[in-house]
Chains A and B, each alone.
Chain A
Amino acid sequence: NAGVTQTPKFQVLKTGQSMTLQCAQDMNHNSMYWYRQDPGMGLRLIYYSASEGTTDKGEVPNGYNVSRLNKREFSLRLESAAPSQTSVYFCASTQTGGNTIYFGEGSWLTVV
């Protein structure tokens, strides 16, 4: 009963370092999302993927890249981390036309 799985759960980066957040879902969903959560801001959409090989920018895409190499996995990459990217990141998925979005447990990222 895994649902949406994110790794790592916690990470500390130095400014300028790069890293990739991994996300995988086992529900055969077509649509996948990356959100970031900041205090007092709620969750904001970074990127969206409707299917394998397709991605679209969300509300706050700057400084991020994504990759949807297959139906299960949707990764988020920070090429050169900045302190402003300190946040909690959530991956989510849903079936196309579905009415419920399922979230992973979050990845806590600190950039120092």
Chain B
Amino acid sequence: AQSVTQPDIHITVSEGASLELRCNYSYGATPYLFWYVQSPGQGLQLLLKYFSGDTLVQGIKGFEAEFKRSQSSFNLRKPSVHWSDAAEYFCAVGRGGADGLTFGKGTHLIIQP
């Protein structure tokens, strides 16, 4: 069965500092991996996705993520965070079909001035 672990429930980062959110997955085949962001009271916005090829993927809002097959990880990074990045971030794995996407439990990002 597929699964996703986001080890950090909460992360606090100073505005302008760099950010890394961790994601580890378990999947039987080559995974499709995703990062979504959710602002309070809002829906899910797709930040970036990995299917194949270059293991470093670029997304919207200055985010990037690196797929490391040997570590079963897909960590999200941003060089310099802005106050508007405060939100809940979800990592997900899956290829659609009957299993859909399996989500991690989310990491709540707090930006301090």
Kindly identify which residue among A43, A94, A103 contacts B96, using a CB–CB cutoff of 8 Å. A94
Kindly identify which residue among B4, B51, B95, B100 contacts A58, using a CB–CB cutoff of 8 Å. B100
Stretch at the interface among B64-72, B73-81, B101-109: B101-109
B44 touches A48 (CB 8 A): no
The reply on B28 being an interface residue by CB < 8 A is no
Given known contacts A40-B9, A42-B103, is B43 in contact with A98 (CB within 8 Å)?
no
Q: Give A92's nearest chain B residue, CB to CB.
A: B100
Number of contacting residues on A, CB 8 A? Answer: 26
Q: Give A107's nearest chain B residue, CB to CB.
A: B43
Q: Give A47's nearest chain B residue, CB to CB.
A: B100
The reply on A90 being an interface residue by CB < 8 A is yes
User: For the complex, what is the distance from the CA of A44 to the CA of B44, rounded to whole Å?
Assistant: 14
B96 touches A99 (CB 8 A): yes
Chain B residues in 8 Å Cβ range of A43:
44, 90, 92, 101, 103
User: For the complex, what is the distance from the CA of A44 to the CA of B100, rounded to whole Å?
Assistant: 10
B100 touches A101 (CB 8 A): yes
Shortest CB–CB separation between residue A106 and chain B, in angstroms? 5
Number of contacting residues on B, CB 8 A? Answer: 25
Q: Give A106's nearest chain B residue, CB to CB.
A: B43
B43 touches A103 (CB 8 A): yes
A101 touches B97 (CB 8 A): no
Chain A residues in 8 Å Cβ range of B94:
101
Given known contacts A42-B90, A43-B90, A103-B43, is B96 in contact with A98 (CB within 8 Å)?
yes
B32 touches A99 (CB 8 A): yes
A residues apposed to B, CB below 8 Å: 31, 33, 35, 40-45, 48, 50, 56, 58, 90, 92, 94, 96-101, 103-106
6 shortest interchain CB distances as A-B pairs = A105-B43, A42-B103, A42-B105, A43-B103, A103-B44, A106-B43
Having A43-B103, A99-B32, one finds 11 other A-B pairs with CB under 8 Å, namely A40-B105, A42-B105, A43-B92, A44-B103, A48-B100, A58-B100, A101-B101, A103-B36, A103-B44, A104-B43, A106-B42
